[in-house]
């Protein structure tokens, strides 16, 4: 479940001293975990950084931004990715090798892509579960400063979609990276680190 997936992060935040704050960074579906953590521990986070990540709002269901992404992506865009039901109403997805190479890791080193293909496991976007959750609150999630790092060459979560999320629920700070794919910590870790340091200096 989404809560189980996020639990290690929540445990870490709950263990922080009351006078300590952190900079949280989420990428891709990690943006949903960020939102859950922000809603629960807003006073423990100096800034939440969405690095080409799903960024929900407080007006709609927590599933809104993910659901829109799925509805607007034509079947062929998934390039043979498998979607398999699990549990009562869950759906897991297993990326096809073609999707990994042509949508997710387009600018990453070949040896990293080969390793990903060996180690990849099914994952989930938790759409059905998120659609049943209460909206994220302005008092919790909405009160934490948000920064968004746009990955301009992301072929999975496109620049257009990233900017739509920013328009839908404006971030406090927006910066961008060129030449990075959906996994900037592999395709250009130096540039990502530079952007994170900029954000940390501004908010922490």
Secondary structure (DSSP) of 112-128: HHHHHHHH---EE--HH
Q: Which residue has the higher pLDDT, 9 or 73?
A: 9
Class of domain 2-203: alpha beta
Q: Mean of the pLDDT values across residues 56-81?
A: 89
Q: Is 28 a catalytic residue?
A: yes
- Maximum mean pLDDT: which of 66-75, 101-110, 116-125: 101-110
pLDDT of residue 89: 64
Going by pLDDT thresholds of 50, 70 and 90, the confidence category of residue 153 is very high
What angle separates helix 30-40 from helix 2-14, to the nearest 10 degrees? 50
pLDDT of residue 53: 97
pLDDT of residue 73: 84
d(CA 101, CA 153): 14
Among residues 13, 66, 62, 53, which one has the least CA distance to residue 147? Answer: 53
Q: Does the pLDDT of residue 23 top 80, yes or no?
A: yes
Which residue blocks in 50-174 are alpha helix, DSSP H? 64-72, 97-99, 110-119, 127-131, 159-168
Asked if 28 and 53 touch (Cβ cutoff 8 Å), the reply is: yes
Average pLDDT, the chain: 92
Identify any residues that bridge with 94 across adjacent strands, giving them in sequence order: 82
State what percent of residues in the chain have pLDDT above 70.
99
Q: Is 131 a catalytic residue?
A: no
Q: Which of 39, 57, 154, 181 is catalytic?
A: 154
pLDDT of residue 198: 97
In this structure, of 79-88, 113-122, 161-170, the range with the lowest mean pLDDT score is 79-88
Going by pLDDT thresholds of 50, 70 and 90, the confidence category of residue 31 is very high
pLDDT of residue 123: 80
Q: Does the pLDDT of residue 1 top 80, yes or no?
A: no
d(CA 62, CA 85): 21
Q: Does the pLDDT of residue 93 top 90, yes or no?
A: no
Q: Is 154 a catalytic residue?
A: yes
Asked if 76 and 174 touch (Cβ cutoff 8 Å), the reply is: no
Domain spans in the chain, listed from the N-terminal domain onward: 2-203
d(CA 156, CA 151): 10
Asked if 92 and 124 touch (Cβ cutoff 8 Å), the reply is: yes
Q: Which residue has the higher pLDDT, 78 or 178?
A: 178
Q: How crowded is the C-beta side of 66, counted as CA atoms within 13 Å?
A: 19
Q: Which of 33, 124, 153, 182 is catalytic?
A: 182
Q: Does the pLDDT of residue 5 top 90, yes or no?
A: no
Q: Which of 28, 124, 151, 187 is catalytic?
A: 28
Q: Does the pLDDT of residue 80 top 70, yes or no?
A: yes
Q: Kindly state the greatest CA–CA separation across the chain.
A: 50
């Amino acid at each position: 479940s989404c809560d189980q997936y996020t639990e290690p992060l929540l445990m870490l935040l709950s263990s922080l001293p009351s006078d300590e704050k952190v900079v949280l960074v989420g990428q891709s579906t990690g943006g949903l975990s960020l939102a859950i953590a922000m809603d629960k521990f807003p006073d423990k986070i100096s800034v939440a950084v969405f690095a080409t990540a799903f960024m929900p709002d407080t007006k709609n269901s927590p599933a809104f931004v993910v659901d829109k992404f799925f509805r607007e992506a034509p079947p062929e865009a998934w390039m043979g990715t498998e979607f398999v039901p699990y549990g009562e109403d869950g759906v897991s997805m297993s990326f096809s090798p073609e999707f990994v190479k042509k949508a997710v890791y387009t600018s990453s080193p070949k040896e990293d892509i080969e390793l990903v293909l060996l180690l990849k496991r099914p994952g989930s976007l938790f759409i059905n579960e998120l659609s049943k959750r209460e909206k994220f609150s302005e008092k919790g999630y909405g009160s934490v400063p948000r920064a968004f790092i746009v990955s301009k060459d992301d072929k999975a979560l496109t620049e257009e979609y990233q900017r739509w999320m920013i328009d839908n629920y404006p971030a406090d700070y927006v910066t961008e990276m060129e030449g990075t794919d959906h996994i900037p910590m592999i395709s250009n870790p130096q540039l990502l680190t530079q952007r994170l340091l900029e954000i940390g200096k501004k908010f922490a």
